[in-house]
């Protein structure tokens, strides 16, 4: 890439959550293999991000590449209306088999945010079909579910700047975020405000929607699984649907195949994305119970009212099916456990650093919460100098590497984080 390419990028291309007038630098990556990204100048960076929870098997995986090549030679895409194809059927058979038992009706879409829109729409249509329309969702503060308007309406009101969208976003119900951490003793008081909110609005709530156990982009917080068991019970008692957004947590990241398994519960609707294709292509799935699917189908509309152009894209389905086979055949539990142990032993000693407020590790996720917000531009440049790709935000520096990372590569990531938190220059007071 030439300097002119980078100038063009800066002047014409929006990157996630960036400004067109004050863009942060971007780093040109020209290839990726295993757990390394290669910059245009030839430098290799160890990847600590799995491209936002997605590339669990690492990059340039021969089996994933081959699955896409094979599918390209047959057909890259065909419409899904009135047509089906082997990759979609193969993928959905796997999804139905892997996910908790009552989930069996799959809707394929393009991205995580759309999977959340689909789940919300399913809940609304479910209640409409029952002849008792309900339009509100109950969720936690500090949640994150995507950037489309429906998804945004259930994201943390402060992080997602609900004030900016006032009058445009539907107003849902926000309970305080769980305080009882994953490894804490269960605290009965923690759930009281949530239970009160549900009781006060029990006739209006279509569904509870939450990220099970790990609140990701809204704060990287890990909460007690008892929360999920209690919420499942409350939802059952009131007949309210439970939607689990497993887009970030699904496919092993937390040490269980799905984070709901930490609590032994099944939701009525589950959203999957990110690692679904092993980080190669964009695809998501929303999976509902037969009861939800049949209720919707027997309602006034007579069908579920959604059908995107690229629904069930064969190329994405083929590589997703291969990625799930790869996961099933791998020793992902052992890999995630090994990563967890190394993250714990490497990050926990940083607790004593002046800049560090908290250290949290669960599965292949390691989080350093700092006392002050990071200077993103300066810290990013430092990490690149150290030969690692770590993308901090706010007061969070976190690692979620591909499951195939080696101990040496992970040690390099941890060492870079340790060096960063030693230097007050990387933090804004
Ligand atoms: N839900 C969760 C829990 C997520 O972490 C994300 C993405 N960070 C989304 C939904 C949205 O997915 P996408 O970015 O693919 O639209």
Which regions of the chain carry the CATH code 3.40.640.10?
A: 65-329
Q: Is ligand 1 within 6 A of the CB of residue 51?
A: no
Q: Which atom of ligand 1 is nearest to the CA of 216?
A: 5
Does the pLDDT at position 175 exceed 90?
A: yes
Q: Is ligand 1 within 6 A of the CB of residue 226?
A: no
Cβ neighbours of residue 321 closer than 8 Å, sequence gap 6 or more? 67, 87, 90, 91, 94
Residue nearest to atom 2 of ligand 1 (CA): 145
Active-site positions read: 17, 144, 245, 274
CA distance 111 to 82: 22
Residue-level pLDDT at 163: 87
Taking CA atoms, 77 is separated from 72, 73, 85, in Å, by: 9, 11, 10
Q: How many Å lie between the centroid of ligand 1 and the Cα of residue 273? A: 7
User: Residue 1: pLDDT band by 50, 70, 90 thresholds?
Assistant: confident
Residue-level pLDDT at 10: 94
Which regions of the chain carry the CATH code 3.90.1150.10?
A: 3-57+331-426
Does the pLDDT at position 141 exceed 90?
A: yes
Task: Please write down the HEC assignment for all residues of 193-250.
Answer: HHHHHHHHCCCCEEEEEECCCEECCCCCEEECCHHHHHHHHHHHHHCCEEEEECCCCC
Q: Is ligand 1 within 6 A of the CB of residue 277?
A: no
Which of 137, 176, 26, 110 has the alpha carbon at shortest distance from 310? 110
Helices (DSSP H) in 310-406: which residue ranges?
A: 314-329, 332-347, 376-385
Does the pLDDT at position 71 exceed 90?
A: yes
Name which of 128-137, 163-172, 375-384 the model is least confident about.
163-172
**151-172: average pLDDT:** 92
Look up residue 90 and give its two tokens: 């193969």
Pairing of strands 269-272, 44-47: unpaired
Dmax (CA) for the chain in angstroms is 62
Binning the chain into helix, strand and coil, the percentages to the nearest 5 are 40, 20, 40
**148-156: average pLDDT:** 96
Residue-level pLDDT at 177: 97
Residue-level pLDDT at 160: 87
65-329: what CATH class?
alpha beta
Look up residue 92 and give its two tokens: 């959905």
CATH number at 3-57+331-426: 3.90.1150.10
Does the pLDDT at position 162 exceed 90?
A: no
User: Residue 185: pLDDT band by 50, 70, 90 thresholds?
Assistant: very high
Query: In this structure, what are the phi and psi dihedrals at residue 261, rounded to the nearest 5 degrees?
Result: -65, -20
Residue-level pLDDT at 429: 83
Each residue of 350-398: pLDDT tens digit? 999 999 999 999 999 999 999 999 999 999 999 999 999 999 999 999 9
């Amino acid at each position: 890439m030439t300097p002119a390419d980078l100038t063009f990028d800066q002047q014409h291309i929006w990157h996630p959550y960036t400004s067109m007038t004050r863009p942060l630098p971007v780093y040109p990556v020209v290839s990726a293999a295993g757990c390394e990204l290669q910059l245009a100048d030839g430098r290799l960076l160890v990847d600590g991000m799995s491209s936002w929870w997605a590339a669990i098997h690492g990059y340039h995986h021969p089996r994933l590449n081959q699955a896409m090549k094979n599918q390209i030679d047959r057909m890259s895409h065909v419409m899904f209306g009135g047509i089906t194809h082997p990759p979609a059927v193969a993928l959905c058979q796997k999804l139905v088999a892997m996910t908790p038992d009552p989930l069996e009706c799959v809707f394929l879409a393009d991205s995580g945010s759309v999977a959340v829109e689909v789940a919300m729409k399913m809940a609304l249509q479910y209640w409409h079909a029952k002849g008792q329309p309900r339009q509100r969702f109950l969720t936690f503060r500090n949640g994150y579910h995507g950037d489309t308007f429906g998804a945004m309406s259930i994201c943390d009101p402060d992080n997602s700047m609900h004030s900016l969208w006032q009058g445009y976003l539907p107003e849902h119900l926000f309970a305080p975020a769980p305080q009882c951490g994953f490894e804490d003793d269960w605290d009965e008081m923690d759930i009281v405000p949530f239970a009160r909110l549900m009781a006060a609005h029990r006739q209006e709530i279509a569904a509870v929607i939450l990220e099970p156990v790990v609140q990701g982009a809204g704060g990287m917080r890990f909460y007690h699984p008892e929360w999920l068991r209690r919420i499942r019970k409350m939802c059952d008692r009131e007949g309210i649907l439970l939607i689990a957004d497993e887009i970030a947590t699904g496919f092993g990241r937390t040490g269980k195949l799905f984070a709901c398994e930490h609590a032994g519960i099944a939701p009525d609707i589950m959203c999957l994305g990110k690692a679904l294709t092993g980080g190669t292509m964009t695809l998501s799935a929303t999976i509902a119970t037969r009861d939800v699917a049949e209720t919707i189908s027997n309602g006034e509309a007579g069908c579920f009212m959604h059908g995107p152009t690229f629904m069930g894209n064969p190329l994405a389905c083929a590589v997703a099916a291969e990625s799930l086979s790869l996961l099933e055949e791998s020793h992902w539990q052992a890999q995630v456990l090994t990563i967890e142990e190394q993250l714990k032993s490497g990050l926990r000693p940083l607790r004593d650093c002046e800049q560090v407020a908290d250290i949290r590790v669960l599965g292949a996720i390691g989080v350093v919460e700092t006392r002050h917000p990071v200077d993103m531009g300066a810290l990013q440049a430092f990490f690149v100098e150290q030969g690692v790709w770590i993308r901090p935000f706010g007061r969070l520096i976190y690692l979620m590497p591909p499951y195939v990372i080696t101990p040496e590569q992970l040690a390099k990531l941890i060492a870079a984080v340790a060096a960063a938190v030693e230097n007050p220059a990387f933090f804004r007071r």
